[in-house]
Structure 1
């Protein structure tokens, strides 16, 4: 049975740059970018999930965490329909050295998915930033 997925995403900034991972949807032949984060588990707050996910995905700690907004995302990807409620958090990375390199690393619990800084102005229809509406939220 399809369900609504609740997510918490981190959006640390380096000037105009946003920390994202690069993904690829083979069913659409599309490369896309999305901030790191993930599902909120039962019994944890969105902010607690954010801290846990960032430790699991990149082994980093966050400071200055603040809620920017909530997005609802209805989409089709990876040959299935999806529905997400996304809590978007501005934050800082506790390790300042991560701001000094363009390629930060790879997601730890995945098969080599790159994590990098990309300019917010560089996303468009051919190189989208997901979830839909995130670029507008960050531009305000």
Structure 2
């Protein structure tokens, strides 16, 4: 994470019945697990929709369709002791390959080669506070869709 930089990113709310697809993260300083929809950084000159398509292809080798822009959230956070600031473009979309909706959990890969664990988690786990969804303001956009 670059310090003192506002990072533009794009994420997608993939829904599967009453669950959403999220990557599990862990903050070693806080000793805290959190969950975030998949996506990633936008490159200079790249639209948020194009960045989302690229990121999903890079991370899990899947094609997506029916992209729908839900909105943006500003995210101030601390991760592993470092402060971050992001502008998060949020989309809804669907996978072209429908078999992914039947896989409870699987691995993806970040651009730095680090593996990520992905899960279909019930939305109710986030609404009722059993699991923590980030960015914090994301639930408002999800409930409006």
One fold, TM greater than 0.5? Answer: yes
Q: Give the Cα separation in 2 of the matches to 1:133 and 1:113.
A: 23
Pick one of 30, 33, 51 that aligns with 1:31.
33
1:9–1:35: 8 Å Cα contact kept in structure 2?
Answer: yes
Structure-1 residue corresponding to 2:137 = 133
Return 5+ residue gaps in structure 1 as ranges: none
Structure-2 residue corresponding to 1:108 = 109
Is structure 2 residue 131 aligned with structure 1 residue 122?
no
**Which secondary structure state, in structure 1, belongs to the residue aligned with residue 85 of structure 2?**
strand
Q: Give the Cα separation in 2 of the matches to 1:49 and 1:113.
A: 19
Return 5+ residue gaps in structure 2 as ranges: none
Q: Give the Cα separation in 1 of the matches to 2:122 and 2:139.
A: 11
Number of residue pairs matched by the alignment: 139
Structure-1 residue corresponding to 2:85 = 83
1:62–1:91: 8 Å Cα contact kept in structure 2?
Answer: yes
TM norm structure 2: 0.91
Is structure 2 residue 78 aligned with structure 1 residue 68?
no
Q: Give the Cα separation in 2 of the matches to 1:126 and 1:96.
A: 28
**Which secondary structure state, in structure 2, belongs to the residue aligned with residue 68 of structure 1?**
strand
Say what the alpha-carbon RMSD is for the aligned residues.
Answer: 1.3
CA deviations 1:24-56 (Å, max 9, x no partner) are 010110000000000000010000100000011
1:24–1:31: 8 Å Cα contact kept in structure 2?
Answer: yes
| Mapping 1:21-60, distance limit 5 Å | 21-60=23-62
**Which secondary structure state, in structure 2, belongs to the residue aligned with residue 74 of structure 1?**
strand
1:120–1:135: 8 Å Cα contact kept in structure 2?
Answer: no
